[in-house]
Amino acid sequence: MSPKRRRSENRGLPKRWRYRYGAYYYLVPPGMEAAWDGKKEFRLGRTLPEAYRTWSERLGNLHKPRSMSDIMDRYLLEVVPAKSSRTQESNQLAIRRLRPVFGRMRPQDIQPSHAYRYFDLVAKRHGLTSARHDVATLRHILTKAVEWGLVDRNHLMGQLRLPGAPPRDRLVEDWEITEALSMPAANRGMQVIQPYIRFKLMTGLRRGDILALRLSSMRDDGIHVQPSKTRKSSGRRLIIEWTADLRQVVDEILRIPPRRIGDAPLFVTREGKPYIDENGRCNAFDSLWQRFMARLLAETRVTERFQERDLRAKVASDSDTLVEASERLGHADTAITQRVYRRKPVRVRPLRRPKNPPNRGK
């Protein structure tokens, strides 16, 4: 008799886990109820991070994994909860796809050829970006297995050369910005988006960092920011110095109702709440942006859609030098700035050649 097929919402979860009634539950093995408060089904938590923490506390030290599925469970318990919420979600999605393919294999048996075949399959179904992320997750799981003393070597380390999706090359032109900022601010969405665009074009900050800014960040010497992407790596901090134009746009933002009280966010919804939640999601703002873009395409000469993140690339492209662009974007080095964000074509002068080249045959 074949095993019972798991429901779609339970696929990718550890064995004996299931999701129902808005929470994650663990089906306790028979005879183990005493370790789980006498329950046959134990509620782990409402969110995945909470569920993994509860499970880890209950299980204590895990037994030595025998398969990749066991190692994936330990990775979900010990490694993933320490990452940002967005990264946790992407890791969980990757492991959900990896588990059916590699779950029954022993970690020492995974070779580069397996990763290449998996990459080709996922790239066809979900795209290059998802395929690269899945393989990167698999490689890191094996690296942690080496760290935990479960295998002697990660056979994927330094052995994979995977094709990547080319970086975006959409360059927002000055006239398109003029069109966007010239539209009538007839509703709240436009009243928020237009000063947001001006603020982003001055600072070059990421969307999440802008929407997380609070009044306490506005200090006498400038706007103090620690980019979220570098908080746990380089720890780089930025002080964006005041200019008359920057102060003007910040004052304009603060005049958008409702009134800010205490250490309120710079950008707030009608209810006075931030546009970004504790998990880094910006759903309300993204909806504003989509409605703005629909109006822009319908009511102006702009015919090609651009993304909010393309404005950050415009800041880098309009900066005088690569070093200046890299510093403005908060990058640790200039390589990523050049490869992804500097999108203007390089101007070159034709090579001057002599009108009458010497005849070297004589």
- Domain check: are 187 and 64 in the same one? no
Tokens of 285: 């703002």
Tokens of 255: 């005049």
SS3 label, residue 356: coil
Residue holding tokens 């318990």?
77
Give me the residues paired with residue 41 across strands. 27
* Alpha helix stretches (DSSP H) within 242-332: 244-254, 283-299, 310-318, 322-329
List, for residues 53-90, the tens digit of each pLDDT value.
Answer: 888 777 654 445 578 998 998 899 889 888 877 888 89
- Domain check: are 324 and 217 in the same one? yes
- Domain check: are 188 and 317 in the same one? yes
Is residue 119 domain-resident?
yes
Is residue 186 domain-resident?
yes
Give me the pLDDT at residue 61, please.
43
The highest-confidence range among 50-54, 285-289, 341-345, by mean pLDDT, is 285-289
Is residue 292 domain-resident?
yes
Is residue 46 domain-resident?
yes
Give me the pLDDT at residue 51, please.
87
Give me the pLDDT at residue 113, please.
96
Give me the pLDDT at residue 15, please.
81
Give me the pLDDT at residue 12, please.
74
Q: Summarize the confidence of residues 281-305 as an average pLDDT.
A: 95
Distance CA 18, CA 144 (A): 26
pLDDT-based confidence at residue 252 (cuts at 50, 70, 90):
very high
List, for residues 164-194, the tens digit of each pLDDT value.
Answer: 778 889 999 999 999 999 999 888 999 999 9
SS3 label, residue 335: helix
- Domain check: are 191 and 331 in the same one? yes
* Alpha helix stretches (DSSP H) within 159-206: 174-182, 188-203
Q: Summarize the confidence of residues 145-150 as an average pLDDT.
A: 90
Q: Which long-range CB contacts under 8 A does 20-27 form with residues at least 24 apart? A: 22/46, 23/51, 24/48, 24/51, 26/55
Is residue 44 domain-resident?
yes
Task: Among 147, 165, 183, identify where a domain stops.
Answer: 147
Give me the pLDDT at residue 62, please.
42
Find the range with the poorest average confidence among 3-17, 105-119, 195-209, 253-267.
3-17
- Domain check: are 180 and 138 in the same one? no
- Domain check: are 184 and 333 in the same one? yes
- Domain check: are 332 and 285 in the same one? yes
Distance CA 32, CA 35 (A): 6
pTM reported for the whole predicted model: 0.71
Q: Summarize the confidence of residues 301-316 as an average pLDDT.
A: 95
Is residue 142 domain-resident?
yes
Whole-number mean pLDDT of the chain?
88
Residue 238: pLDDT over 80: yes
pLDDT-based confidence at residue 94 (cuts at 50, 70, 90):
very high
Beta strand 222-225 pairing with 218-219: antiparallel
pLDDT-based confidence at residue 195 (cuts at 50, 70, 90):
very high
Helix and strand counts by DSSP (H, E) for the chain: 13, 6
- Domain check: are 224 and 276 in the same one? yes
Q: Which domain holds residue 110?
A: 10-147
- Domain check: are 220 and 101 in the same one? no
Q: Is 60 exposed, middle or buried (0-12, 13-18, 19+ CB in 10 A)?
A: exposed
Give me the pLDDT at residue 35, please.
66
Give me the pLDDT at residue 32, please.
66
- The DSSP H or E segment spanning 116 is helix 112-126
The Cβ of residue 254 has, within 10 Å, a number of other Cβ atoms equal to: 16
- Name the packing angle between helices 244-254 and 188-203 (round to 10°): 150
- % the chain with pLDDT above 90: 56
Distance CA 97, CA 290 (A): 30
pLDDT-based confidence at residue 235 (cuts at 50, 70, 90):
confident
Residue holding tokens 């398969």?
67
Residue pair 34/41 in contact (Cβ under 8 Å)? The answer is no
Is residue 5 domain-resident?
no
DSSP assignment letter at 216: G
Residue 137: pLDDT over 70: yes
Based on the structure, what is the number of domains in the chain? 2
Give me the pLDDT at residue 267, please.
96
Distance CA 161, CA 116 (A): 9
Residue pair 35/27 in contact (Cβ under 8 Å)? The answer is no
- Domain check: are 216 and 116 in the same one? no
- The CATH number for 312's domain is 1.10.443.10
Give me the pLDDT at residue 232, please.
67
- Domain check: are 140 and 189 in the same one? no
- Domain check: are 183 and 84 in the same one? no
Distance CA 200, CA 3 (A): 54
Residue 317: pLDDT over 80: yes
Is residue 361 domain-resident?
no
